Amino acid sequence: MTYAMIGTWRMAYEGLSQGLNLLKSGGSSGDTVESAIKVVEDYPFFKSVGYGGLPNEDGLVELDSAFMNGDTFGVGAVMGIRDVKNPISVSRSLSKEHFNSVLVGDGATQYAVKNGFELKNMLTSRAKKIWEKRKREIAEKNLSPYDGHDTVGMISLDQEGSMSVGTSTSGLFMKKAGRTGDSALVGDGFYVDSDIGGAAATGLGEDIMKGCLCYEIVRLMGNGISPQDACDQALYPFLRKLKKHFGKIGEFSLVALNKSGQWGVATNVEFTFAMGNDHETAAVYIA
């Protein structure tokens, strides 16, 4: 039976490789998305996700994450969660709730505490040093504070034909306290429908969220369009519109996977992603 996974950026590779093994032995799309993203969240040298993620302008690590189940449309998300080791696990747990499934700030952390999720100081000394250096540079050279951001997004199709998607990010480096991007917003940073396929985004959330691009990609795939054409048709006309109105626009990268295991990618930067399925072992590609 077909199974497949796709994930954003090089950082997805190790988690995705493990996820594929899980899928091979009959694991569910939800378990593989969660476990693969946990691998990324736990690795201290990825500067934009989980432990080791770069802090906001106050030096605090505020994390965003989401999970969506493509069978039930259950969506769970946290925004600005602090001191919790694996935001993706909290998001997945919230996706099973009917009420209060999207939590922000202290409320998200409190939910994690009450429900026994592992707590952790997510600021590494390395991230703190990068933050201190950036603070000095901003003051001395009058630079824009905003430099650096990536989201891990994973889409998984299991042997039963179920699909899930998840995202996790520390968002924009030096963001304002409370700032969120697209990654925890359903339809913007992620979407999945097991009858069609799923999509995930990475890039500048303030711009990505203007287009509801992940929902758009799934909608286009639902009309019978391939994941690659859906990514192209969702992204490039929208980029042209944004450019017309705003001139300068941020980075956009999109990945999609359909229920048959076909995939697509569209981007306006050099973009790495990881992909694997029942006949291709996990590998990193550049788009």
Among 57, 182, 216, 232, binds ligand SD4 (CB under 6 A): 182
CB of 287 to ligand SD4, least distance (A): 14
Q: Taking every pair of C-alpha atoms in the chain, what is the biggest distance, in angstroms?
A: 58
Among 169, 194, 267, 277, binds ligand SD4 (CB under 6 A): 169
Q: Which region, judged by CB under 6 A, interacts with ligand SD4, from 37-45, 167-175, 210-218, 235-243?
A: 167-175
| Interface positions, 208-227, toward ligand SD4 (CB under 6 A) | 208
Crossing angle (nearest 10°) for helices 87-94 and 29-42: 150
Among 86, 89, 95, 151, binds ligand SD4 (CB under 6 A): 151
Which sign, positive or negative, has the C-alpha torsion 221, 25, 167, 44? negative
Does position 149 interact with ligand SD4 (CB under 6 A)? The reply is: yes
Rg of the chain on CA atoms, in Å: 18
215: closest CA among 151, 165, 180?
Answer: 165
Residue 122 near residue 142, CB atoms below 8 Å: no
Tell me how crowded residue 229 is: count the other CB atoms within 10 A of its CB: 17
Does position 202 interact with ligand SD4 (CB under 6 A)? The reply is: yes
Residue 32 is a catalytic residue: no
CB of 80 to ligand SD4, least distance (A): 11
Instruction: Provide the annotated binding site for substrate.
Output: 179-182, 202-205
Non-local CB neighbours of 42 within 8 Å, separated by 6+ positions: 50, 51, 85, 86
Size of the site for ligand SD4 (CB under 6 A): 14
Among 50, 52, 203, 211, binds ligand SD4 (CB under 6 A): 203
In sequence order, what DSSP letters do the residues of 78-108 get, joined into one string?
EEEE-SBS-HHHHHHHHTT-SSS-EEEHHHH
CB of 201 to ligand SD4, least distance (A): 7
Residues that bind ligand SD4 (CB under 6 A): 149-151, 169, 171-172, 181-183, 202-205, 208
Active site amino acids: 151
